[in-house]
Structure 1
Amino acid sequence: MSRNPEFKKKPPFILIVDEDASRRGLLVRAMQNEEYGVFEASNGEEGLKRARECKPDLVLLDADLPILDGFECCGQIQSMMGETAPAILMMIVGNDNAAIDRAFEAGATDFLSKPIHWTVLRQRVGRILASRWAIAQLQRQIQREHLLTEQLERANQQLQRLALIDRLTQIANRRYFDQHLSQQWNQLAREESSLSLIMCDIDWFKSYNDTYGHQAGDECLQTIANLLSDSVKRAGDLVARYGGEEFAIVLSHTDTKGALQLAESIRETLKERAIPHKNSPINDVVTLSLGVASMIPTPKSSANKLIAEADDALYQAKESGRDMTCLAQSTAT
């Protein structure tokens, strides 16, 4: 049987365990002629030790060993080495069916009748090693494919994440906002609990961009996004870039009072940051106008109503002079 060319890169190791020194010598020479790496042991206990040390690919094991016979030695090798156990070719006198059954029960891969037919020996050793090599290759291929699958899944997750994140500010984008608000609306409709929305708009942002340049404008957007994110901590809440210089904050299980307190805290905190805005008609630092709306969702209505009311409140804040927080009229009543 022709040997696998892959063996030339790393010759398989064979452990020969046989008390008969003359036969063991013949086996050693036969395997060395096949260019296998060869180890040898004269009894079962030594065979166990050598198997543990050299980790062979195949053990040629005589069944008729003293003290620890080949069947017991075979079983102990399998138990000791587990998944890394070598193939075991048991050498049995004649065609003793009982001995053959014991060999397979002990975990042997195949058997070889004594006296040994050398052509049969070479063929069986070659076949067993080629089979083990093919299985090892298949396992490595499966591992590679598993790794590639994991990498692909991580890449898909990353792509999905990127599809929901605003690239400039690294907070949720409008698409993520729409999904999250809808989910919260449906959940809180079942719970009959309050849902609030804060719409924020940077005052006179076009003037800021014209004065300081678009890079400074981008940095301003990033600063405010970070400020908003730092203000919202709960799992059901969300800060999103709604569009341009406008942001939205979804507040789960939050009533009007809580939403107003947060909106005012954000507005005052931004003013304390004192980001210069020398051409603002209302202040010499960057400011925010905010609109707040709160309601208890119902199954028969949609989140669009909450968005419309928060947007109306924001428009009211801008029309009333900016740098202020206004509450939706329906909420106020």
Structure 2
Amino acid sequence: MKAVSLPEEQPVILVIDDDRYTRQVLRKVMEKEGYQVIEAVNGEQGLEAYKRLKPHLVLLDALMPVMDGFACCTELQMLFQKNYFHGNDNGNSNGNGNADHQNLHFASHTPVLMITGLDDQESVDRAFAVGATDYLTKPIHFAVLRQRVRRLIQQFQLYKQLQMANQELQRLANLDGLTGVANRRRFDEYLEDEWQRMIREKLPLSLILCDIDFFKKYNDTYGHQAGDACLRRVADALRFCAKRSVDLVARYGGEEFAVILPNTTAIGASQVAEEIREVLRSLDITHIKSPVSKYVTLSLGIACIQPKPQSLPNILVAAADKALYQAKAAGRDCCFTDI
């Protein structure tokens, strides 16, 4: 597996404090440490700056007008949660496991160091209760501040690196190693997810199952290395035709592939299937032992269902499999739709 490394970047610190002098002092100290500093004068401005700049660390005052630090910290936690789940939503991937590294800042829990003159136990407890990562009282001991900032940013960067490594492992776990499309495990997960989503949204879900015609003869004639290359070219053709981010191409097993098409009617799925068949034929992959063509061809079975509560996605798979059988029985190199 390729090693995951973070890009070199200057850490960004967001200072949210209504006191101009404090902001200036914090900026001077933090910039001397090599950090980039952004200032906000109250909680509301700080939230907007966070959403825009995605800092590595927030230095937050507790007592401010408009929105105090406790309310601001609460809102920041909600942003972390919202953007974490948004960044991991199924709809943002084509199902082939591509990690969205641009969302890593949001997906990570940005540390918040609250700096305040409040040193009573109730205020400290309240700060941690609303999500502060650490707490420092005024007057600021700058040697302590430097060490805590350094530690929090290092932890944040290590956390991001761990996230990237985990995302890469998840991506690899969802991929077919030979063709690079989704594997059967990912197919089953994605079909279940989209089945439930289509139930909620009352939309149709289509499935195409396709099989390379006489693939055993191809392997016997040209060898398994050529067979592997053929599988990769077929997978590339399927990916080319399944254009939307929500469409999933998977290796279903052996020489059989599947395409999940959410919010797609039977007519739309048939159009995609015909395009797949024509694109593959245009590749002119020679198959001299094929009884139907001198080139590699596909048989495709298409099914479309509007999922209902208490129904299961295996009925869609069974319908597409039946249509695929009918396509083979009809002479192969064709598409057949289950009605």
Partner Cα separation in structure 2 for residue 207 and residue 185 of structure 1: 36
| Structure ranking higher on relative contact order (CA contacts 8 Å, 6+ apart) | 2
Question: SS in structure 1 opposite 2:286?
Answer: coil
Question: Structure 1-normalised TM-score?
Answer: 0.59
Q: Which amino acid aligns with 1:221?
A: L
Partner Cα separation in structure 2 for residue 76 and residue 245 of structure 1: 64
Partner Cα separation in structure 1 for residue 202 and residue 152 of structure 2: 50
Partner Cα separation in structure 2 for residue 259 and residue 135 of structure 1: 60
Tell me what 1:127 maps to: none
Q: Deviations over 1:195-215 (max 9, x none)?
A: 111100001111111111111
Tell me what 2:241 maps to: 231
Is the 1:184–1:236 Cα contact (8 Å) retained in structure 2? no
Is the 1:200–1:248 Cα contact (8 Å) retained in structure 2? yes
Question: SS in structure 1 opposite 2:303?
Answer: strand
Distance 1:189 1:141, change over 3 A: closer
1:147 is displaced (CA, Å) by 2.1
Distance 1:79 1:178, change over 3 A: closer
Q: Deviations over 1:123-174 (max 9, x none)?
A: xxxxxxxx96676555444433332221111100110111111111111111
Gaps of 5+ in 1: 1-73, 87-130
Tell me what 2:36 maps to: none
1:205 paired with 2:205, answer: no
Bigger CA radius of gyration: 1
Distance 1:179 1:79, change over 3 A: closer
Partner Cα separation in structure 1 for residue 307 and residue 218 of structure 2: 38
Q: Which amino acid aligns with 2:28?
A: M
Distance 1:76 1:210, change over 3 A: closer
Tell me what 1:249 maps to: 259
Paired residue for 1:151, among 161, 165, 168?
161
Distance 1:84 1:228, change over 3 A: closer
1:185 paired with 2:132, answer: no
User: Aligned residues, how many?
Assistant: 213
Partner Cα separation in structure 2 for residue 208 and residue 302 of structure 1: 36
Whichever structure has more helix as a proportion of its residues is: 1
Q: Which amino acid aligns with 2:261?
A: L
Question: Structure 2-normalised TM-score?
Answer: 0.58
Distance 1:85 1:75, change over 3 A: farther
1:85 is displaced (CA, Å) by 7.3
Paired residue for 1:222, among 228, 232, 235?
232
Partner Cα separation in structure 2 for residue 75 and residue 139 of structure 1: 16
Identity between Structure 1 and Structure 2 (%): 49
Tell me what 1:312 maps to: 322
Partner Cα separation in structure 1 for residue 144 and residue 200 of structure 2: 58
1:125-144 paired onto structure 2 within 5 Å: 136=146, 139-144=149-154
1:230 is displaced (CA, Å) by 0.8
1:269 is displaced (CA, Å) by 1.9
1:60-209 paired onto structure 2 within 5 Å: 78=25, 81-83=28-30, 136=146, 139-209=149-219
Partner Cα separation in structure 2 for residue 251 and residue 289 of structure 1: 18
* Deviation larger for 289-298 or 190-199: 190-199
Partner Cα separation in structure 2 for residue 147 and residue 79 of structure 1: 21
Distance 1:170 1:80, change over 3 A: closer
Partner Cα separation in structure 1 for residue 144 and residue 218 of structure 2: 68
Question: SS in structure 2 opposite 1:197?
Answer: strand
Tell me what 1:240 maps to: 250
Distance 1:244 1:134, change over 3 A: same
Tell me what 2:336 maps to: 326
Question: SS in structure 2 opposite 1:224?
Answer: helix
Q: Name the Cα RMSD after superposition.
A: 2.7
Distance 1:136 1:200, change over 3 A: same
Question: SS in structure 2 opposite 1:234?
Answer: coil
Gaps of 5+ in 2: 1-20, 34-140
Distance 1:79 1:297, change over 3 A: closer
